[in-house]
Structure formats: C-alpha cells, structure tokens
Amino acid sequence: MKAEFQTLYTEAGERLRNDPSAVPWDAYPRPHLRRKEWLNLNGFWEIETESGFKGRARVPFPLESPLSGYEGPIRYGEKLVYRRRFALPEGWKGKRILLNIGAVSGVFEVFVNEREAGAHRMPYQPISTDITELICEGENKLEIEFMNDLDPAYPYGKQKIKRGGMWYTPCSGLWQTVWIELVPEKHISDIECFQFGNEQKIYVYGAENGEIECEGENYPIENGVCRIGIDSPRLWSPEEPNLYEFTVRSGGDEVESYFAFRTVGVGEVNGKPRLLLNGKPYFFNGLLDQGYFSDGLWTPAEPEEYERDIMKMKSLGFNTLRKHIKVEPELFYYCCDKLGMAVFQDMVNNGKYGFFRDTLLPTLGITRLGDRARAKYGDPNTQEQFISSMNRTVMELRRHPSIVYWTIFNEGWGQFDADGAYECIRQLDGTRIIDSTSGWFHQKKTDVDSLHIYFKKLRLGKRHELPQVVSEFGGYVLKLPEHSFNLKKTFGYRLFSSRDAFVSTLRKLYLEEVVPLAEKGLSAAVYTQVSDVEDETNGILTYDRRVMKLAPEDMAGIAEALQEAVKK
C-alpha cells in the first residue's frame, strides 16, 4: 500500500543530512548585540527520556523533525534531558562566561556540572545566564531538562499532538541555537534604539560611559545613554532597507549593532483612513508566513533559508510577511531588516481552541461574541501567561525596523480582554500598528478593521473610520505530489489541477478584487501563503522549497497598481 506521508528535504537540509560532523546554524545568532568571541554548541547532543531511552538529537532542530536525527520515542507529558560536554576555548579561563539558549519548546531548567544555572518558562524567548562560577577546568557537562507536555496554558501556536489540516506536527526540545560567549567583568547586557525625529536615543544597558562609532563619527555614552543625530537620514522601507551599523565600546567590552529611521502610522488620504510608511500612504502587499520547513519544522536547515524565502517573495512584488502565531529566531528579523521585508508579527496563542466557538460560529456570521462572554473559556493563569509572553515578545522584537504591525488575537484563539491587551502593547510600543482581533470577534480598541475572507468576494469592513486590512485571503491550491508531505489528503480553499488556471485565477483575484478595494480604502492584504505546510498545499513555494509555483512575470504590474491605488 502506498505510504500516506513522505519525508521531504530542502537542498540545504540534504547537505546537512549528508554531513553529520557539520555544526548547524554556525552564524552568530543575536544580530543586535554581536560579539566576536563565542562558541557554538549546536550539533548532536545526548538525549535521555524519563522512561529510560537514551539516544541523540541534532540541535537546533525539534525532536520530531527529520534533521534532528532523533530515533527514540516522543511521549508528551514526559520529562527529557539534553546533555553535552564542552571545553572552553584557549584563553577563556578565568574570564566571565555567558550561556545563551535561543529557545526550548517547554518549561526547562539548566544545569552546568550538575549545579543549577537557570530556568525559563517562555517557549519562544531566549535566556542568557552567567555560568562563570559553575565552570571547571577541562571538560564541562551541560544539561537542559524540560517537560514536554504541550501545556495549553503556555503559547503553542499551530502545533497539535494529533496533527492534520491547519494543525501541524508539534515541535519538542531545543529548537534554536545554544552558545557561550566571553565577556569582561562589567559588560554590555543589551542595547535598545528609539527614534525621535532625526535622532536615535540609544540605551546601552550595563554600561555607564564609553562611545559609539557610527559612520566614521564617535558619539559619547553618558550614564548609559547615547544620542546620535543625523541630518536628512536615509529612511528604511522594503524598497530601500537602509540600516545604520554602529560599534559600542565601553570598558573592556565591544559589541556591534544597528538601527534604522522609519515611521509607521495612520492618516487620512483623500478622505480615507490609510496606513502610512514614512508619512506616505503605503500598501502592505503581504503573505501569510507560518515559519515551518519540511526537514527542520520550526527551524530551517540554515538561516540562509530565510533570505531565500524573502527574496523569492520580493521577486513576485510582495513587500510584507505576516509571521503567523510564531516567533522566529532573531536572524529571521535581521534578514527582513537588511533585505527589506515588512513584518506583521502575531502573538502566539495559548488556551484551548474550540471548533464550534472559534470557527463554526464565525463561518455562520456570528462574530460579535463579546470578550466578557468569552472569558469563561479561559482561566486566570492561562491569561496571565499570554500577557506575559505577549509583553516579552514586544520587548524582544521592537528593536527591528521591519516589524511594523502587531497582531494580538487570531480568529478568537485563546481570546480574552482584547481591549486590555491592546493597552498593554500600546504602553510598551507607541510606534506601530496594533491589530487586536485578526479575522473576527472584534472589540472596541484596535488601529485597523481586520477581516479574513476565503469563500466570498473580498470586501471592506464596516468600521469605515479605520484603515481596512484583509489579514487573510486566497489560499489557492496547486498540489505537486512529488513535493508534497501528505500524498492522500489536501487542505486549502480552492483547488487547481493546472498551473495555467492557478496563475490566471490568482491574477484575476488581485486585479479585479484587491486593486479596486485598495482604491476604495484597503491598506493591506495578506494572501495565504508563502509555502505549503504538511496537509496544506496552498503555498507559493512547495513545502521542500524546491519549486516556486509562481514566476515574477505572473505577478507583473500588480504591486505597482496597488501602490498607485492607495494614493487615490
């Protein structure tokens, strides 16, 4: 009998699979705070499960992914331990050592030489801890113990133990880079840049005095703050992604970082509310981006895969990615910053999904269920975890100029007190657009009127005082079996058997529906989606990234027409 599923490798994944000694993701993982002296701890780690299995897995890939190489059981609700040994590079002895972990899928604890080094409860955020006092001469043992339980109290996104349709294979374990770095006794712990007109106010945490070198000029750091004013700064946009690189020196520490000048806002243009980029009406021509890869699941085989995805989508005229209920490694956002791709960043849902409540009722047109009525579906701890994760996400990512828009709740998943969540983000970041409720179950506080439309003709929303956004639409399916994960089932919103029909219908959708709506007030549209994901074959790229179903000429003229439309 023919298998239902097939394992697919990207070209980069194939290379990595054939070279077991290669250190994956051998690029410094924190672009906003770069140091020269660091040691990558990716590669094969020992794995021990609570039930006694011992094996190995390649970091930074989830245990369920082909690239992890893990061949043992995965039992949800069971504790697992990652273990590896390392020695400090020559010359590091006697200096301060920081351990950095990009992300672990669940609640975890860290031990160095069997002594506790830290703990974390955020599955999408990094941790950094000083392990200097725990290091010994020669070989050191590093252990990361985590509970693999997919507890819905914590953010989980699109993963589900019983995957299928719009729910994907869960991702367990260490799924981002682990590294150590050398720092002086008094060192820079973080950098944040805030734009005020033509000036950047730069906070250098951990430093009182020093200097910043930017474009050949030196600027003093006083009491941890530096101000850099630039006459007629080069603005950042997807068309011209201008970045200003700078070097910070304080005491014995030196790090590299960057900033950009750009503004995002809302304004009236010819009587219509519009989204503005750098003070001018701009159409955010976007794609839904799930951030899943056929061989690494949450983690591509190499960070250059991000660049390839971005440049392929730019070649089709798209300028925006909606990062869909997933937070990526920082290198993804850096690629968007430097290559020029605006990002609509979703928060990651937690709580329990209900098909009747969250999908069937809206399909029947019942979309006004108030948050007071919805609150009974949650509990205080789950809601507290969501707000905590949301705030941490904003704090971690607000440094990236490519991020122009925050989405709080998607289609009601885990939704509660959307107005209160809006106020939380607004206090942390007053410089970006906030979409409180993408799809339906709209409340009072939001910067946009955000609709999902798949089975009907595209339209504008009813809140005419707000910029209009179709935050999901399309989802057309062109399935290429040799590049598809599920050979028997297909999930999407309209199926095509030929490329010609797929292309012509998609062009018609943009030229006859999206462009006319842009003239009437639509400011952004997000087509589903960048790539196929498991059962979903409604991507522009196949799941293995080996085939792009559209060519640049197929979308010729559409991006230009959309930008002209928002000026009318």
Backbone angles phi, psi at 311, to 5 degrees: -70, -35
Q: Give the integer Cα–Cα distance in Å for 134 and 118.
A: 12
Q: Can you give the pTM of this predicted structure?
A: 0.96
**Residue 33 three-state SS:** coil
* pLDDT tens track for 109-123: 999 999 999 888 778
In the numeric block, the tokens 């054939």 are attached to: 18
* pLDDT tens track for 471-488: 999 999 999 999 999 999
Could you give the C-alpha distances from 71 to 41, 43, 68, 334, 348, in angstroms and in order? 21, 16, 9, 33, 29
In the numeric block, the tokens 């309209």 are attached to: 494
Give CA angle at 307 (504, 199), nearest 5°.
Answer: 110
* pLDDT tens track for 23-61: 999 999 999 999 999 999 999 999 999 999 999 999 999
Which of 514, 504, 549, 505 has the alpha carbon at shortest distance from 529? 549
E strands present in 171-304:
178-183, 190-196, 199-205, 209-214, 217-222, 225-229, 244-250, 253-259, 264-269, 272-277, 280-281, 284-289
Confidence of residue 64 (pLDDT cuts 50, 70, 90): very high
* pLDDT tens track for 184-234: 999 999 999 999 999 999 999 998 899 999 999 999 999 999 999 999 999
- State the fold for domain 190-259: Immunoglobulin-like (2.60.40)
Written as one string, the DSSP assignment of 86-113 is EEPPTT-TTSEEEEEE--BSS-EEEEET
Question: Amino acid letter at 466?
Answer: L
Q: Give the integer Cα–Cα distance in Å for 357 and 355.
A: 6
Q: Give the integer Cα–Cα distance in Å for 277 and 449.
A: 18
Q: What percent of the chain has pLDDT over 90?
A: 88
- State the fold for domain 34-183: Jelly Rolls (2.60.120)
In the chain, what are the domain boundaries? 34-183, 190-259, 264-565
What's the burial of 242, exposed, middle or buried (CB within 10 Å: 0-12/13-18/19+)? middle
* pLDDT tens track for 211-220: 999 999 999 9
Region 264-565: CATH code: 3.20.20.80
